[in-house]
Amino acid sequence: MSFEKNILCIGAGYVGGPTMAMIAYKCPQYRVTVVDIDPERIAQWNSDDLPIYEPGLEEIVKTARGRNLFFSTEVEEGIRESEIIFVSVNTPTKTFGAGAGMAADLQYWDKTARQIRKYSESNKIIVEKSTLPVKTAQAMERILTSADNGIRFHVLSNPEFLAQGTAIKDLEDPDRVLIGSTQTPEGLKARDVLVEIYSNWIRRERIITSNIWSSELSKLVANAFLAQRISSINSISALCEKADADVEEVARAVGMDSRVGNRFLNASVGFGGSCFKKDILNLVYLCQYYDLKEVADYWEGVVRINDYQKERFVLNMLNVMFNTLANKRICLFGFAFKADTGDTRESPAIFVAERLIEEKARVVITDPKALKNAMKDLENIAGEISYVEDPYEASAGCSAIAVMTEWGIYADLDYKKIYRSMAKPAFIFDGRNILDHDKLFEIGFNVFPIGKPGLTHF
Ligand code: UDX
């Protein structure tokens, strides 16, 4: 069977896999191949046990796989046979040299550009899907065209805004799709090819175009703004706890101003996830690079408040539990960075667990999906940590419960039963404000929400 277009994606991760599955699902006329150098990951994509969990993903993969969606390790062949190549390799924060701890590590990206150059035998459109520092497209175009072999490459920026847990919904019905290109006639032509692909299922007015640098920058700024909202409300949560105000009431009153909007104003123990911190630090690094110190400091403040919030959470536990946590069993309800995912990258629970161990507490961790990752995250921490799937069993004998993740199941537990099984006095620290605090207080717990005065029996 012949296809209208051959599309390749290099990188079968959280972004590449679901995005390509959606394109293949919506556009049976295109052949879509996803390649990765990791054979284990590809084998998982070809199995019944996909490497990532996202509601709705399995159905669309099963419909398209083998029809017009293929997962393979044949990078060379994939490059040769496709006209459009999405690049979705990881760009972690650099851990060495200049910009360590801030700048993006572009080695996989650079290597991919060289691979594309080496194996290409015809003109290609290259689509940046990974989140990258501004002007990476230009660098890529330079690497690609340096072979001087007559092959033309057009690099587009098409950042992905999907959030984990809602990836399929976000891909199927996005707020917007952004495509950045150079403004030359050839650049615009390449851009229109990508517009046409998305137009198969997304309304044209939601597909916006811009120059390539605006597009690259928009991704960093979108994440910085979202994280900023959380740090803003978290900073106010500290004040509410002192001033007898309730942060949820404040957030509601502020969010009802339609200019502000009511989403992403839930105070918490802190934001996590693979993107927010990394992208803000990337933005900060970019500002420093251009000598914009005040701008860099401003955005760095978003990360500083997040660190402050996590530390504040632990210090509050220490303070109200009579200034010592040594030998006390403390149960963490949830370890994932948010509900409905097993992902623990940058989860505030990692920080809290480490700090509790420093205080010589005995930590018990429970989570419906993230226990395996939790074990990996904490494998080098010397201290008493145990992992228990059942929350009743996990909390039995503990002096405190700290809610780290807003899993729905934690709101529906039998807290009378839990209270009976715990050491007294029993404490609950609700890092996500998902529990019924008054009811817990009536049962006998000392309750400490985020951004509201604590309820104590002494
Ligand atoms: C984010 C962006 O939302 C997405 O557009 C981008 O493409 C990638 O980064 P994600 O990391 O999947 O997505 O998670 P998100 O739902 O944004 O949550 C990030 C963190 O903020 C989580 O730890 C979450 O629990 C926390 N959060 C979110 C709050 O603490 N309060 C809120 O009001 C909202």
Q: Which atom of ligand 1 is nearest to the CA of 274?
A: 11
Q: Which of 279, 282, 255, 258 has its CA nearest to residue 266?
A: 255
d(CA 158, CA 450): 37
Structure tokens at 358: 């420093």
Distance 410 CA to ligand 1 centre (A): 20
Instruction: Spell out the per-residue pLDDT of the chain, length 458, in tens.
Output: 689 999 999 999 999 999 999 999 999 999 999 999 999 999 999 999 999 889 999 999 999 999 999 999 999 999 999 999 999 988 888 888 888 888 888 888 889 999 999 999 999 999 998 877 777 888 888 888 887 778 999 999 999 999 998 999 999 999 999 999 999 999 999 999 999 999 999 999 999 999 999 999 999 999 999 999 999 999 999 999 999 999 999 999 999 999 999 999 999 999 999 999 999 999 999 999 999 999 999 999 999 999 999 999 999 999 999 999 999 999 999 999 999 888 999 999 999 999 999 999 999 999 999 999 999 999 999 999 999 999 999 999 999 999 999 999 999 999 999 999 999 999 999 999 999 999 999 999 999 999 999 999 98
Catalytic residues: 275
359 and 318 in contact (C-beta within 8 Å)? yes
76 and 82 in contact (C-beta within 8 Å)? no
Sheet holding 329-333, edge to edge: 385-387, 362-366, 329-333, 400-403, 427-430, 446-449
Distance 343 CA to ligand 1 centre (A): 12
Q: Which residues line ligand 1 (CB under 6 A)?
A: 160-164, 223, 226, 230, 264-266, 268, 271-273, 275-276, 337-338
d(CA 397, CA 424): 9
**pLDDT at residue 131, as a whole number:** 76
415 and 392 in contact (C-beta within 8 Å)? no
d(CA 13, CA 44): 11
In the chain, the amino acid numbered 111 is K
Peptide bond into 18 cis (omega under 30): no
Q: Whose CA is nearest to atom 13 of ligand 1?
A: 163
Q: Whose CA is nearest to atom 1 of ligand 1?
A: 163
Distance 271 CA to ligand 1 centre (A): 7
Q: Which residue has the tokens 């919030």?
A: 309
d(CA 312, CA 402): 13
**pLDDT at residue 20, as a whole number:** 98
Which of 169, 254, 313, 337 to mutate for ligand 1's pocket (most ligand atoms within 8 Å of CB)?
337
Q: Whose CA is nearest to atom 17 of ligand 1?
A: 163
Distance 375 CA to ligand 1 centre (A): 23
155 and 128 in contact (C-beta within 8 Å)? yes
Q: Which atom of ligand 1 is nearest to the CA of 337?
A: 23
Whether pTM > 0.85 for this model: the answer is yes
> In this structure, what DSSP letter does residue 361 have?
P
Query: Between 247-255 and 212-243, two packed helices, what is the crossing angle to 10 degrees?
Result: 140
Which of 275, 280, 335, 344 to mutate for ligand 1's pocket (most ligand atoms within 8 Å of CB)?
275
In the chain, the amino acid numbered 225 is F
d(CA 132, CA 138): 11
Q: Which of 238, 202, 219, 106 has its CA nearest to residue 158?
A: 219
Q: Which of 279, 219, 260 has its CA nearest to residue 92?
A: 279
Classified as helix, coil or strand, 99 is: coil
**Residue length of the chain:** 458
Q: Which of 353, 338, 350 has its CA nearest to residue 405?
A: 338
d(CA 431, CA 270): 8
List beta partners, residue 449.
430
99 and 60 in contact (C-beta within 8 Å)? no
Q: Please report how many Cα atoms fall inside a 13 Å half-sphere around the Cα of residue 54, on the Cβ side.
A: 25
